[in-house]
Structure 1
């Protein structure tokens, strides 16, 4: 039997996964990936450590001897998107990677959205994505303003998976789904040079590799990497894809109108579309490239996903047992006694389905009779309502595929089905991003004749949730309150930010 390796370099964990041609996860190796935070809104990772952890995962798989090295026919790499992974001419990191969830470029975003809105609109219309804090284009502009001495020593700016693929193959490059997050002219498919000129960063055009398609074989494993990890020399590596795009493939979302949600650090909501149906530059829209050439994705990747649950476990719940948590959530009726939670807990605010760098999480409607259980359920409902906020244009007759760590909870999956009024399907297996790039490699290398065959053979679903339409009717009402509160809060968030600056400026004796 043929096998494929998928590597998934997430923000919190890095993984190497072996799949057989039926899509079965044969073995998974994982390492925790540390994020460096300075106590403010900066989020970074040590690029060398990230590569060492990926290498450790590969070595663990190969040392297990579960499959022979020569039976692994190819490798695909996926990972967190956006950010700035800067290398010099020797291929060495010049600084820590600045991550997608970093908030330092707030002044740059403000300048082109508030002070020069015509440039902000050009940015959105050109790339299909509004100017956001973690966009590589915005971080390049920030680097020029604040770290030009470091930037000028650079050679190429990569994305996370490209850094790992470079270490595997020695080949520098990137591919279309990652580049489409902010660097590509959506109409031409090429680097948005005119936009770079407007942003006064065209001098760094050569730092941005011209992207290739996701399925292109870009190189083979370096002999040194093969010897160190146990991989076979000459194993081909495909370009891979952005994690959200790869997960769409891994879930089987390969047709127009397919929709999926990844319940992870970011709750990424996706709808598959054709280019002619994309309205590049429309308010609150964000488009990305699907790994299949003719398809695109309307993507709404919130900054705020499961970290809300982590915070709830640490500060509200009296248990960290998710079986007990599910029981508590299920014991509370829809609406939590009038308590609504807005899940904007990131230090960088929120980016989908709206942008606000100072958005913050909050409970609305607490009274003296509010219980711990109601607060816990409100966190889950708030996240679910945020997903609905992101999928306002979804076809309710379609199926919603659900993936990520949060999909393990049957109570949350049923809640999402009820909130959305849609059938929800949960895939077998957990490593959907790694599976996605494995299937991309499998199609390219001839293990599958087409993506349709790959999905038919490799995508299996273990659970289906039908919506309770009476609950959906209740959530229709709750969603309107959720949305109105978050709209009215935008001025409050701005006021809070200015107040905090004034408080910090007052020096006590």
Structure 2
């Protein structure tokens, strides 16, 4: 199929603007990655729970990544058939007159909307909102943040003409078009069944009087807009190059890694700093849990959506437990880089017995959002005894990630029959073995290096006619990169099957403890917490 295509325009570019880095990745029309460039991202985090990012700097960094890609791929501008953009999800990027930013963006990490989320969730309309969106309300989302701004910073919304997400902002800078995509539009303000805005949802959020801020919804596999002259001058690409608006990064990463295609009841987990757990199902098969948590996110296939549960922290837990050892070694004059300790995880797993200690991996200062929402949730060990040593703690943290993954999939209905993994942690065979056993399903690892950028580029491939539909694109871009099936160890799966009920019961029992700890911390640290801020790479 690929050999028959014209070679004058033989490259697709996928942009993936994450929280920590912005990547521009070039693929040939058959899905082979041929070049990549990245620029570090930065945001400001405050002790008041704020997490903000400059819109102008984000665009400058995106343009810089595209220029860097041109340095790595010969003739990039003239060879590019289309560009597609995805980015970090949720958050609020307000734009006003002349497409100028109103203020720095509130990121998905921003926790300031917590009081408003609690109030909105207590309203009688909350369940109707959840039934329409399939998505539990949390502080990450634009709907929550806009509702909170409306109460506490209404002047921001008064000056805004449109409320965008990160990828939408970059699309605006690339094309001059204010728009969003069906995924973020429907899980925030709409209905996953028709992928349109839902007035019941908007009213439940108390935002009917701010309805004008919601942009047009554009389907990126069908509609593109030309790269503007201004953007061409800044990126080095050719004006008029088609640009496709991708879906949110969670959906694009899972799509590029294999959440859709090649089997029934397949699940895909991205095990990175955060944990994202997804399964693709027909709209009519969506399971909405009674707790009202998780997301339902459309993917660029008609009639198919993903059910999603997300952990605020995944490998951040490993960074923490390994960081403890690194600090102790450094303080005793034996400094060891964290990368060296990561290589020891397999040894520590072999040196410890499974299922001895429970660990709840809620290490994020923003608490947890999947499969329950609690901004006060915190990590902890249960079951320590005198005989336990450091390898046991490391194993408990790894097992905690697996049990938290199972917790998320259990909230979507039955457990999956195949688990596809992506993210840096998926490279560890020992960790894969724990995750597979915790879920009770064979694991396959995607060899795709940049799954998010690939998922976006796949949308562009269909939009410009390189493939007739997404199924044909998946068959060439995704399926061949899936590794062999790795069945779970039966004995380990049995242990975790017995351990999981205790894991779930313990996290429920801990909720009043987390509340008490939060109250105690507030007494112990009086003063204006917002006055202390830090810059985060």
- TM superposition score category, shorter chain reference: over 0.9
Quick one: distance in 2 between partners of 1:505 and 1:161?
Answer: 38
Distance apart, 1:135 and its partner CA? 1.4
- 1:159 Cα shift? 0.7
User: Which residue among 496, 512, 525 is the counterpart of 1:475?
Assistant: 496
The corresponding residue for 1:399 is 418
Residues 345-376 of structure 1 show CA distances to partners (whole Å, capped at 9, x for unaligned) of: 11221111011111011111223332111112
Q: Tell me what 1:8 maps to.
A: 16
Q: CA 1:265 to 1:506, structure 2 compared with 1: closer, same or farther past 3 Å?
A: closer
Measured at CA, do residues 312 and 421 of structure 1 come closer, stay the same or move farther in structure 2, by a change above 3 Å? same
CA offsets, 1:256-308, max 9 Å, x none? 53210011232110011111112456434531112212101111012122222
1:290 counterpart = 2:299: yes
Structure-to-structure mapping, 1:3-402, within 5 angstroms: 3-114=11-122, 116=123, 118-255=124-261, 257-280=265-288, 282-283=290-291, 284-317=293-326, 319=336, 320=338, 321=340, 322-335=342-355, 338-392=356-410, 393=412, 398-402=417-421
After TM superposition, give the deviation of residue 214 of structure 1 in Å.
3.5
Structure 2 CA distance for aligned equivalents of residues 407 and 5 of structure 1: 25
Match of 2:535 in 1: none
- Deviation per CA, 1:447-486, whole angstroms, max 9, x where unpaired? 1233222122122124542211111001111212211110
Change (3 A) 1:342 1:281: closer
CA separation in 2, counterparts of 1:344 and 1:17? 32
CA, structure 1 residues 330+222, in 2 after alignment: closer, same or farther (shift >3 Å)?
farther
Distance (whole Å) between structure 2 residues aligned to residue 486 and residue 449 of structure 1: 47
Answer yes or no: is the 8 Å Cα contact 2:401–2:435 preserved in 1. no
The TM-score, its normalising length taken from structure 1, stands at 0.94
SS in 2 for 1:353: coil
Distance in 2 separating the partners of 1:280 and 1:390: 13
Partners of 2:146 and 2:345 in 1: CA distance: 43
Question: What's the CA shift for 1:228?
Answer: 2.8
In structure 2, C-alpha distance between the alignment counterparts of 1:403 and 1:443, rounded to whole Å: 23
Paired residues, number: 503
CA distance in 1, matches of 2:196, 2:207: 16
CA contact (8 A) 1:216 1:239 kept: no
Deviation per CA, 1:230-263: give whole Å up to 9, x if none: 2122110112111111123212332453210011
Q: Which moved more, 1:168-177 or 1:301-310?
A: 301-310
Partners of 1:467 and 1:49 in 2: CA distance: 45
Task: Work out whether residues 182 and 196 of structure 2, in 8 Å CA contact, stay in contact via their aligned partners in 1.
Answer: no
Distance in 1 of aligned mates of 2:325 and 2:501: 26
1:429 aligns with 2:448: yes
CA distance in 2, matches of 1:497, 1:68: 53
Q: Check conservation: 2:129, 2:204, Cα contact below 8 A.
A: no
Aligned residue number for residue 505 of structure 2: 484
> 2: CA distance between counterparts of 1:214 and 1:254?
18
Contact 1:157/1:207 (<8 A) preserved: yes
Asked if 2 retains the 8 angstrom alpha-carbon contact of 1:348 and 1:357, the reply is: yes
Kindly tell me: are residues 40 and 375 of structure 1, through their superposed partners in 2, closer, same or farther at Cα, counting changes over 3 Å? Answer: farther
Q: Is the contact between residue 16 and residue 58 of structure 1 (CA under 8 Å) also seen in structure 2? A: yes
Listed one character per residue, the Cα deviations across residues 166-187 of structure 1 (whole Å, up to 9, x for unaligned) are: 1111111101011122211334
C-alpha separation in 1, matches of 2:527 and 2:149? 30
Give the distance between the partners of 1:202 and 1:132, measured in 2 at CA: 19
Q: What SS does the aligned partner of 1:8 have? A: strand
Q: State whether residues 63 and 230 of structure 1, in contact with CA within 8 Å, keep that contact through their aligned partners in structure 2.
A: no
Is the Cα–Cα contact under 8 Å of residues 329 and 376 in structure 1 kept in the other structure? yes
Deviation for aligned residue 1:155: 0.7
- Tell me which moved more, 322-331 or 83-92: 322-331
Q: Which runs of 5+ in 1 are unaligned?
A: none
Aligned partner of residue 429 in structure 1, secondary structure: coil
Q: Give 1:85 deviation, angstroms.
A: 0.6
Question: What's the secondary structure of 2:224's corresponding residue?
Answer: strand
CA contact (8 A) 1:246 1:291 kept: no
**CA 1:65–1:290: 2 relative to 1, 3 Å:** closer
* 1:187–1:23 Cα change, 3 Å: closer
Structure 2 CA distance for partners of 1:376 and 1:119, relative to 1, 3 Å: same
Q: Any idea what the Cα deviations from partners look like across 1:397-433, whole Å, max 9, x if unmatched?
A: 6321111222222221121112111111111132101
Q: In 2, Cα distance between the equivalents of 1:397 and 1:8?
A: 28
- Aligned residues of 1:258 and 1:400 also touching (Cα < 8 A): yes
Note if contact 1:125-1:281 (Cα within 8 Å) is conserved in structure 2.
no
RMSD of aligned Cα (Å): 2.0
Deviations 1:81-137 (A, max 9, x none): 1111111121111111111121111110111224x3x13222212221122111111
